Chains A and B, each alone.
Chain A
Amino acid sequence: MSTANAILTVRGLRKYFPIKGGILGRTVKNVHAVDGVNLEVFEGETLGVVGESGCGKSTTARLLMHLIEPDEGALYFDGKLVGSPELPLKDYRRQVQMVFQDSYSSLNPRLTIEDNIAFGAKVHGTPAREALERTHDLLNRVGLDPVRFAGRYPHELSGGQRQRVNIARALALRPRVIILDEAVSALDKSVEAQVLNLLADLKEEFGLTYVFISHDLNVVRFVSDRVMVMYLGQVAEIGDADALYADPLHPYSRALLSSMPSMDPDNRTMEPALTGDPPNPIDPPSGCRFHTRCPVVSPICSGAEPALTQRAAKHLVACHAHDPASGYSAPSPKEAAE
């Protein structure tokens, strides 16, 4: 892994989804899907993104891909502002591709596998014949024999095979970054392992950078160099995968990790780390958004929003408990956990 330069830089990303109501159909409320996210993705790394439903991880992916327009914030690719004359959207999209969770709805059911894969390349100006050749190469590369599969339609393939097609399609434009939004979550465990191995091979072969979004904490740890934990539209913590899993600094990360089933019949989980569900992102709590469920909450937490600050080498956390100047008074999370 090289941490030399940030390939993707996100500054102050915000996206609210309006909820219309009343007779006039005016915006009455907003879903705070992504609220002030700053982040860097370094060339050649895999950045894992974890969090519960409604935490904004998929919205972040769509914003990174420019599938939806952010309300606020800027996105830089290789230091160039995306959407500026320096880097038009179409050029950007050639560099960044996405694989979705649902392998079926993300393919065109009326195109054959090879047409599905070659379509993007043709749109971006690759001659048809060259696009087709590349498609057959890619099919080989993802473990599908082009002689058997190129002419088939998506419904004739199994879920694992279709996800391989989606990966081949993402590679067809020779991108540098691939965003994997729950890309292996719908697959059976035995097939998931095959696809994870394939992703690791491709990353090495094509020198790719991955943003890997998943709710499966075991898988994220296995694939990621760094991990970002999100809660209600904000980044709670971001750091090296091993460091974060070994010693999570944010009380939410700690709770999330200890909610993983123990895998040991003699040592089952006795006490849930948190009670209740995550709050609704329509009216997120004031101050630190986690304060309503936090086991180590202090009065300051409901008042002021903690900033994402560096607390250890390459390890950033947004929590008042880690900021001596915040006025935080409860026992530090460390002591409380012991």
Chain B
Amino acid sequence: MTAPFLSIKNLGVTFTGGTRPVRAVNDVSLDIAEGEAVALIGESGSGKSVTMRAVMRLNPEKRSKLDGQILVGGRDVMGMNARQLSSFRGGEAAMIFQEPLLALDPVYSLGDQIVESIRRHETVSRDAARARALELFEQVRIPSAKSRLDNYPHEMSGGMRQRAMIALALACRPKLLLADEPTTALDATVQIQVLLLLRELQRELGLSILFVTHDIGAAIEVADRIAVMYAGQIVEQASARDLIRSPRHPYTLGLLKSRAHDAMVKGTKLDAIPGAPPDLANLPAGCPFAPRCFLADAGCKAGPIAMQDLGPGHQARCRRLDQTALQDVG
């Protein structure tokens, strides 16, 4: 494997706007190789979207503090000035969002939005940009692409809008695609179409994808590797296969066990994780999951827990990993 295309090292994000500083992301390190798809999963408030936004420097500059390092294609994102940032955004890295109706401009047609974006980054004629827009629409498999280019966002259905937003994101041939819950608002039969599209684009274009979701099922359909976040930290990361077959962090174990799945006998209880996630403005000193963990002892609550290596590409942030090897996910 060559050097990772996206490399996040010890990233921390603190929001300072409120009465107390909120540590939303804490010591996150994550690498994505060229052409690799990595899913970041976690519950609301776990810091997955904030991590992704930090890669694009989209968190409010005045009310947040970044520390650590983010390299995209060897370039330091944190050191970029405004000018470098705006060519980086859309040029090298592009982002798609959960709600295309909010992310797209309602008063311009999709074709115009794509043309504008291409011409902002490259010196090409309107016609050439328009031809590329048509190509993009065909690439994301929008039926009757040519006439659809003149559509406004409200004239499209939800699934089609999401495809159009992906086309817009790909307009300047970025190498890194950041996808923030892109299928959460979609219906089941449409969600699977968009997930498969992302997978095809990854393969055809050699895209690196960072995919944020709360849905483990969606993550497995798209990602080569999965990182699980809890209270601002990555608690476990592994290949999709290892994470599902042999999860080691108690939180990952709990998440997989608490799911309702087909093998379940009717009338049995779900194996729920007790309690609720901690308040990010008032994090416990030790492992943030310790108050809900069935394995936690005094040592877990004493101080920060380091990431442990469990095998090739498999790491977990837990002191009691000797105990979790025996757990059965069922």
Binding site for B on A (CB under 8 A): 52-53, 158, 160-161, 188-194, 196-197, 200, 215, 217-219, 221-223, 241-242, 245, 255-256, 259-266, 268-278, 280
Contacts and interface: CB of A to CB of B under 8 A. Distances in A.
A265 B255 CA distance: 17
A152 to B, nearest CB: 15
B212 to A, nearest CB: 14
B311 interface: no
A263 B244 contact: yes
A272 B163 CA distance: 15
Given A197-B272, A222-B260, A261-B221, A256 B189 contact: yes
Contacts of A221: 260, 262
A200 B244 CA distance: 27
Contacts of B270: 193, 196-197, 222
B67 to A, nearest CB: 27
Contacts of A263: 216-217, 220, 244, 261
A190 B193 contact: no
A183 B14 CA distance: 33
B190 interface: yes
Interface in B214-232: 214-218, 220-221
Nearest to A216: B260
Interface residues of B, number: 46
Given A218-B259, A277-B157, A190 B273 contact: yes
B330 interface: no
Contacts of A262: 217, 220-221
Nearest to B254: A190
12 contacts: A193-B270, A193-B272, A194-B274, A196-B260, A261-B217, A261-B220, A265-B241, A265-B244, A268-B220, A272-B193, A276-B157, A277-B158
Nearest to B41: A189
A268 B264 CA distance: 21
A237 to B, nearest CB: 15
Interface string B13-42: 000000000000000000000000000000
B43 A219 contact: no
Contacts of B214: 188-189
Contact of A277 (B187, B199, B258): B187
Contacts of A242: 266
A62 B128 CA distance: 52
A265 B241 CA distance: 6
Contact of B187 (A53, A158, A192, A200): A53
B160 interface: yes
Contacts of B192: 259, 261, 269, 272-273
Interface string B152-188: 0000011110000000000000000000000000011
Nearest to A278: B187
A23 B258 CA distance: 55
Contact of A273 (B157, B159, B189, B216): B189
A244 to B, nearest CB: 13
Contacts of A280: 157
Contacts of A241: 266
A276 B161 CA distance: 11
Contact of A272 (B189, B254, B266): B189
Given A189-B43, A260-B188, A274-B189, 10 more contacts: A188-B43, A188-B277, A189-B255, A190-B273, A193-B273, A221-B260, A222-B266, A223-B260, A263-B216, A268-B221
A250 to B, nearest CB: 13
A127 B205 CA distance: 69
Nearest to A192: B258
A189 B259 CA distance: 7
Contacts of B260: 193, 196, 218-219, 221-223
A134 B264 CA distance: 35
A265 B240 contact: yes
Contact of A190 (B43, B143, B160, B266): B43
A184 to B, nearest CB: 10
Contacts of B267: 200
Contacts of B246: none
Contact of A260 (B143, B160, B190, B217): B217
A70 to B, nearest CB: 25
Contacts of A200: 267, 269
B191 interface: yes
Contacts of B262: 218, 221, 245
B151 interface: no
A218 B143 CA distance: 31
A222 B195 contact: no
Contacts of B220: 261-265, 268
Top 7 nearest A-B pairs (CB, nearest first) are A261-B217, A222-B260, A193-B272, A52-B187, A193-B258, A188-B43, A277-B157
A215 B271 contact: no
A110 B240 CA distance: 46
A219 B266 CA distance: 11
Contacts of B189: 52, 255-256, 259, 272-274, 278
B276 interface: yes
A99 B260 CA distance: 21
B3 interface: no
Given A255-B189, A261-B215, A269 B272 contact: no
B160 A277 contact: yes
A194 B257 CA distance: 12
A328 B125 CA distance: 54
A242 B269 CA distance: 17
B58 to A, nearest CB: 23
